[in-house]
Structure 1
Amino acid sequence: MTVKNALLYKRLSDYLTIDKLDLSIVKKLNLRVILRLIRRLFSHDGALVLGVSADWRYRLTYLLYRFNRSKMERSILIVMGGKTPESVTYANRLNGYRRVYVETESMKRAFEAMGVHNVSIYPNCREMPKAPTQIRSSGSGRMSSVFFSLISPDKGVEIALGVAKLLPEVDFHFYGRIEGGYEDRFLGKVDELSNVYYHGVFDSVAGDVLGELSKYDVHLFPTQCPNEGVPGVLVETKMAAVPTVASNVSYNAELVESGKDGIVLDECTAEAMCDAIKALDGDRELLVSMKEAALASAEYFCVDHYLEELVADLENGRKGGLR
């Protein structure tokens, strides 16, 4: 289950009775779970909260629209990622839900342009920390940067390593699972560069993600993936008061206000990212102001701001409890 889904389940459970079903188990052809899914789809009571991948979104939407329209009208769809409907037919089926929730304003406009009329926004939310975030003092010491994602060329690791080679006066810290087949190349680069450190996969369940991220001055997000949606790490770094230097890919320019709470690169190359980091390293007052702005912008992603609408949609449409 994604962090976004786990949090949504946790918080909706404060208001509603929910029976959780993990579709990853369905993929393993677990008969008991498959039967539970069939019962949930075709029963006449309750409502559904669907937070699923694009493939499952298409399959379940088809089944509900074709066989159980009345239950679909009581249910909500939580869209993960940034993929818009591929056909007018599919877009029209999405209108069968009580509400379709997408992650950004531009996603909402894209869905509406395809003819989906019941769209609202529910970002990749997080819970704000109970204790106020302490903004890391930039001082005059070495700048420290962090890369917190899948370690792969598609996520821009080669670009970040290129920057590390160009900036020996800045430290570069990497967290994340290394993509299969990329281990030797990446770890070889780590060994070559004295200012690069690999910390493995961070345990987000047992550990304090925000506390870990707040150790750093700037977050590097040079992703080349076209369907990023709203990556959780961009929300978490905001809550940790860490500005991001990002590629202008997918929705990054909508999530990072360039020049205020981070920098969005028109062209994401090692040289361009190097220039951005050098500018922040040389102007520590600007860096502090970006940290403050990043923390302020995190408020938009607080789950508490969206629960009332979500619960109202389900309460107004359901009968016989939420299933």
Structure 2
Amino acid sequence: MPAERGLKYLLPFYCYWRWRHAVPVHYLVVGGWLPAFLDSHPWLCRGLRRLDSLHVQSRRMIAQLKRQGFENLHWLPNFRDFLPQGPVSRGIGDPVRLVFLSRMIPEKGADLAVAAVETLNAARERPCCTLDLYGPVADDHHAWLSQLLQSRGDAIAYRGSLAPDAVIETLSRYDALLFPTRYVGEGFPGVIVEAYAAGLAVIASDWQDNGEVVIEGTTGLLFPSGEAAALEQRLDWLIHHSGALLAMKRAARATAARYHVDTVIPELLGTLEVPVTPAVGNAEEVPQ
């Protein structure tokens, strides 16, 4: 199903198709944008209420949509398909190895990550942590990124984009993921699932749904959105509590199983009342 641009044009078609052919229509919503979008496009609510179900990525969205009069709601967390990874490292790097992985746009918070790491290293007059940044850069953001990284030194570097099949292996080389997003459309970020699968703690802004995914003090730490000084304080605490960071990494690895495709999809199929049957010679269930 479409997102903001396509929804207002295609929703009438889907509603007609459902009515004319008696075919169930289930809307799987990607991202955290729908409640705010409906506040400014309230005429779409009637059509969406006619669908058989809406599946959204967070409890926050469910609560907001209920206040907008929806009842056909289900929780569908983000998920990934990943192989079991190797054991979590027995120790923490010195310097602590930090990574940022997202689109290179200001709203994703790379500037906060860079500022916090640079301030910590400058205060100690040595690199107490390093930061590698990964992610695609649109043409109109190359100048912004170049200026962001200017004169930052060897401890902070942009490493380019990652192929999807290289993400978890690459992340596993680090100690923690920095995710200081303030992106308005943020929902349940898939990169957090990938970080968990790689055995990384996650240091994230408390923006939108991050607090539902990052378990404070267990799989990572949260800080007030947009506050570089608060991020710096969280990182400073981690540098001095390597045992706690290692415990978070182990908890993150264990938590990843909640968001594996083999956990989430059977629950979705059950919600949709799709019959499943064991595949011949395979204990896993597949849709008929």
Residues 241/115 of structure 1: CA separation in 2 closer, same or farther (3 Å cut): same
Q: Does 1:150 align with 2:108?
A: no
Contact 2:100–2:134 under 8 Å retained in 1? yes
Normalised TM-score (structure 1): 0.74
Separation of aligned partners in 2, 1:126 and 1:97: 26
Contact 2:93–2:175 under 8 Å retained in 1? no
Residues 121/212 of structure 1: CA separation in 2 closer, same or farther (3 Å cut): same
**Which of the numbers 133, 148, 155 marks the counterpart of 1:174?**
133
Q: Please give the secondary structure, in 2, of the residue aligned with 1:134.
A: coil
Paired residues for 1:49-128 under 5 Å: 50=1, 52-66=2-16, 68-71=18-21, 74-82=24-32, 83-84=34-35, 85-86=38-39, 89-128=43-82
Separation of aligned partners in 1, 2:98 and 2:67: 39
Partner in structure 2 of residue 135 of structure 1: 88
**1:106 CA drift (Å):** 1.8
**Which of the numbers 132, 152, 159 marks the counterpart of 2:112?**
159
* 1:141-192 per-position Cα deviation (integer Å, ceiling 9, x unaligned): 2101001011122111211121122122211100012243332342354351
Paired residues for 1:28-67 under 5 Å: 50=1, 52-66=2-16
Partner in structure 2 of residue 241 of structure 1: 199
Q: Please give the secondary structure, in 2, of the residue aligned with 1:182.
A: helix
For 1:120, give the aligned amino acid: H
Partner in structure 2 of residue 47 of structure 1: none
**1:307 CA drift (Å):** 2.5
For 2:11, give the aligned amino acid: T
Gaps of 5+ in 2: 122-126, 276-286
**1:71 CA drift (Å):** 4.4
Separation of aligned partners in 2, 1:233 and 1:105: 19
Q: Please give the secondary structure, in 2, of the residue aligned with 1:167.
A: helix
Residues paired across the two proteins, number: 264
**Which of the numbers 290, 300, 312 marks the counterpart of 2:258?**
300
Contact 1:74–1:314 under 8 Å retained in 2? no
Relative contact order higher in (CA < 8 Å, ≥ 6 apart): 1
For 1:195, give the aligned amino acid: A
Q: Please give the secondary structure, in 1, of the residue aligned with 2:50.
A: coil
**1:72 CA drift (Å):** 6.6
Q: Does 1:269 align with 2:222?
A: no
Separation of aligned partners in 2, 1:164 and 1:202: 22
Q: Which segments of structure 1 move beyond 4 Å, counting only runs of 4 or more? A: 70-73
- Percent sequence identity is 23
Contact 1:150–1:177 under 8 Å retained in 2? yes
Q: Does 1:198 align with 2:167?
A: no
Contact 1:88–1:114 under 8 Å retained in 2? no
Normalised TM-score (structure 2): 0.83
**1:199 CA drift (Å):** 0.9
Separation of aligned partners in 2, 1:70 and 1:136: 57
Separation of aligned partners in 1, 2:21 and 2:64: 26
For 2:63, give the aligned amino acid: R
Residues 314/88 of structure 1: CA separation in 2 closer, same or farther (3 Å cut): farther
Q: Does 1:208 align with 2:208?
A: no
For 1:100, give the aligned amino acid: L
Partner in structure 2 of residue 19 of structure 1: none
Gaps of 5+ in 1: 1-49, 317-321
Contact 1:69–1:96 under 8 Å retained in 2? no
Separation of aligned partners in 2, 1:72 and 1:122: 24
Separation of aligned partners in 2, 1:245 and 1:285: 16
Contact 1:103–1:229 under 8 Å retained in 2? yes
